[in-house]
Each structure stands twice: as structure tokens, then as C-alpha cells.
Chains A and B, each alone.
Chain A
Amino acid sequence: DTAVSQTPKYLVTQMGNDKSIKCEQNLGHDTMYWYKQDSKKFLKIMFSYNNKELIINETVPNRFSPKSPDKAHLNLHINSLELGDSAVYFCASSPAGQKNTEAFFGQGTRLTVV
């Protein structure tokens, strides 16, 4: 059983389109995250949700909107896609407020905007 699963694994789309990436975790964690990894492998946090509530919202364009229907799911919707949105997007989860426990990452979604 995959602990953190995200779909799709690859996404190729044209500029201006709207797309969604889905994420689900079966670890019972309260906190979920979206990270963006660029071509230089830098990892940047975008959003963090704790039990369906937004707790971290870094400087991310309004075109990106996370949605958490329940604590096991955190989806990412992107409007009006731009070339610069091309990256690998990772979903992750961790137990809330437990500093000794690592985050668990999904396999990533490679988004290519053409």
C-alpha cells in the first residue's frame, strides 16, 4: 500500500489551461503539504494544511489553490497555467506538531507546460 499517492505522475498541458493534481495519504497524518521542485532540485514549500485547515501559504500566485476535502486528501488546482509553472510537484504528509517524525513524500507529479 502506497503511503502518499499523487496523480497523475506526468502532466503535459498547454499554456492557459487549468489542471488539478490529487493527493491522498493513508498514514492517518493530520498535516499535508505541497512542495514545488524546480529544475535545479530546489524544494520550496507552497502550502501546508492541518486537519483540513490552511496553516502555511507561502508566496504563491493566486492561480494556485489547494483544497482539502478531508484530512487524508489535499488537491492542488492550478488556473491559467504558465511556462514557469513547469516543475515537479510533491505532496507530503506528517503527524501534526511532532518534530521527531519525518515527512512522507509522494512520487511527484512532473508538470510540463508547453
Chain B
Amino acid sequence: GDSVTQMEGPVTLSEEAFLTINCTYTATGYPSLFWYVQYPGEGLQLLLKATKADDKGSNKGFEATYRKETTSFHLEKGSVQVSDSAVYFCALNTNAGKSTFGDGTTLTVKP
């Protein structure tokens, strides 16, 4: 079946550090890939997405590239801020419209 494997957390970084959260997937066909962010006390919201191979999604300084050859969609940000502290979920959607989420990675950014 479909699955998403995320880098285990928690991840703690200092402000302005470089962030990478790894995400790999297994799916039949050609899924769309998503990163969602969950700020404390809130629901998940879309951070960025990519719908086909080699697409790059970007938003709020975050980027992720859909790599079909390595079945990966790693999330990166060049300089994190305290306000980026949140839980990050990698997810995929299949042609049938079914969503599969990773286990989430908690990021804490310290001043």
C-alpha cells in the first residue's frame, strides 16, 4: 500500500539555521506530494505542494522538490525563525484521491 516515511523528530535548531526534513514515499502510479504545517493549537494547513516529477513547491521560504528517481520530497529552508516552530507533515495523494500522511516531525527553533 501507499506509505510516507518522514525523518523522526523532534528537531531543535537555533534561529537562522538551515532546515532539512526528509520525506520518502511509496505509492502506485504518480502521486501528488504535499507538506502541511500544524502550528500549536491549530489544524493542519498546506505549506506547499508538487504535482509531478521535478516540480518544486515553495512558500514562506520553504522549498521541496518532487524527486521521482529517489521517491523523495525533502523539505528545506535556508534560515529558520522562531515562528517556524510547528509540526510538519509530508503527505501524498493518489489518483483515487486517497491521502496518506507521514508521522509528522516536530520542529522547535530557539532564539
Contact = CB atoms under 8 A, between A and B. Distances in A.
B44 interface: yes
Given A41-B106, A42-B104, A90-B43, A103 B97 contact: no
Nearest to B31: A99
B73 interface: no
Contacts, number: 56
Chain A interface residue count: which class? 20 to 34
Given A41-B87, A42-B104, A94-B99, A100 B93 contact: yes
Interface of A: 4, 31, 33, 41-43, 45, 56, 90, 92, 94, 96-103, 105-108
Given A43-B103, A99-B96, 19 more contacts: A41-B38, A42-B104, A45-B101, A90-B43, A92-B43, A96-B97, A97-B97, A99-B51, A100-B32, A100-B93, A102-B34, A102-B46, A102-B49, A103-B44, A105-B36, A105-B43, A105-B44, A107-B42, A108-B42
